[in-house]
Amino acid sequence: MRVAVDQRRTRVFSWSVGELSRASGLSARVLRHWEDLGLLTADRSPHGHRRYGPEQVTRLYRALALRRMGLGLRQIAALLEEQDPDPVTTLRAHVAELQEDLRRRGELHDRLAGVLASLQDTGLTDGGEDQQAQVLMKVIETMTMFEQYVHGYQSEENRRLHDQAETLVELLHGDTGYPPGTTVLEVGCGVGAQTITLAQRSPGAVLTCLDVSSDSLTEARRRMSAAGLDTAAVAFRQTDVFDLPHDQGPLSASRFDHVFVCFLLEHLPRPGEALTRLRAMLNPGGTITVIEGDHGSTYFHPDSEPARDAIAAQVSLQHHAGGDALIGRRLYPLLTGAGYGQVSVSPRQVYVDATRPDLVDGFIRKTFTAMIEGVRQPAIAAGLIDAERFDHGIRDLHRTTEPDGVFCYTFFKAQATT
């Protein structure tokens, strides 16, 4: 750091590209790229060299913090444009993010230490290759649950799910509502994006919400109370859908009048088995409602092959993770195959053009494109697409938000009885 140029007769601090590069770990090339994206624009010295003053350093800090939180460069640029230059807000969010990260890692550590301890107790470490492989599978599952869930448990994902829920509420939930006194089980409630709508639309219904992630449940509780809803009226339970029904207790068989599932089956390796288990949770005559997307239903104008390739990379990645991003079209066969009756499926198309700026922003940008953008790193690392093609695809998806752009996507909502 050094004191430098005299601008408007006031001595100010400024830094060279080299100094900024050393401090931030970003190469001069990357800093120039960030300048092209409008993220960080340098001043020029009288000799034409790039110089960065306190304002730009503050901006750089905020951009780096946002990037650590997992945001893409374009999202960061947009956020920096929107927000005031006070770094305290960013620092506070950064500290909160780190605390959450430490807690998650602590939880992972405790789980793995638990597995290790039980291995040592049972002498399984001395077992044969098969036995050890089984144990390793358990360890992999535990790690996956905490770290590799295809959409992640990061706050950006939380924001995306909430933007998605708010934008689509009428389309997906206009006809969802449960009578007072009925018992409803929401499965895979995540951070509570749908739970809030369910609670608001079904006053007096008794809600039980479960998810495999305790972090998500904590966030769901927090969001419920932030929305002014009575969290005591909702039971949140951490459990795996594949452990249902429990032998006894509140999650034992035949306890619910209704089951509600949204954007869960697409992530499960055995969605049919999950539906069979959920049927056992229902009272005779009970109903199930399932909402899922289908990325194969996406089309847009202007059409773009790179954009379709980026979407295909997401579909393929989800497939490799054991899920199915094209599951919407399978709801009918899955439900009938799991023994449900009166299955009826209703496709719900989101059609977006410039006359719907709320959907241009809430759906094309913040929901769909953000979700595809979120798999950039793993998709490239898995060799499914190269970086240039992926970024081209994302640019083309953003291109559909311009005044002549059009975007279509279909969700599927299924209802059935035991």
Ligand X SMILES: C[S@@+](CC[C@H](N)C(=O)[O-])C[C@H]1O[C@@H](n2cnc3c(N)ncnc32)[C@H](O)[C@@H]1O
Which residues of the chain form contacts with ligand X (CB under 6 A)?
A: 151, 161, 165, 188-190, 193-194, 211-213, 216, 240-242, 262-264, 267-268
Name the minimum Å distance from CB 164 to ligand X: 7
Nearer to ligand X, 407 or 411 (CB): 411
For the record, the structure tokens of 392 come out as: 């081209």
Q: Which residue is nearest to ligand X (CB)?
A: 190
**Minimal distance in Å, beta carbon 357 to ligand X?**
23
Q: What is the rounded CA–CA span in Å between residue 208 and residue 147?
A: 26
Closest CB to ligand X among residues 192, 306:
192
CB nearer ligand X, residue 259 or residue 262:
262
3-state helix, strand, coil split of the chain in percent (to 5) is 55, 20, 25
Distance in Å, CB of 211 to ligand X, minimum = 5
- CB of 356: closest distance to ligand X in angstroms? 21
- Residue number with CB closer to ligand X (263 or 340): 263
* Residues 413 and 263: beta-carbon distance below 8 Å: no
For residue 116, give both structure tokens: 């290790």
Q: Which two tokens stand for residue 409?
A: 């996507």
| Residue with Cβ nearer ligand X (40 or 184) | 184
Name the residue nearer to ligand X (CB basis): 16 or 218. Answer: 218
Instruction: Report, in Å, the least distance between residue 382 CB and ligand X.
Output: 20
Q: Taking the complex as a whole, how short is the minimal distance between the CB of residue 75 and ligand X, in angstroms?
A: 19
Q: How far is the CB of 32 from ligand X (least distance, A)?
A: 37
Minimal CA–CA distance to 77: which of 42, 30, 37?
Answer: 37
Measured distance between the N- and C-terminal CA atoms of the chain, rounded to whole angstroms: 70
Is residue 10 packed enough to be buried (19+ CB in 10 Å), middle (13-18) or exposed (0-12)?
exposed
Nearer to ligand X, 77 or 265 (CB): 265
**250 prior amide bond cis, ω within 30:** no
Under a CB-based contact definition with an 8 Å cutoff, are residues 385 and 379 in contact? yes
CA diameter of the chain? 82
As a whole number of angstroms, the distance between CA 408 and CA 117 comes to: 51
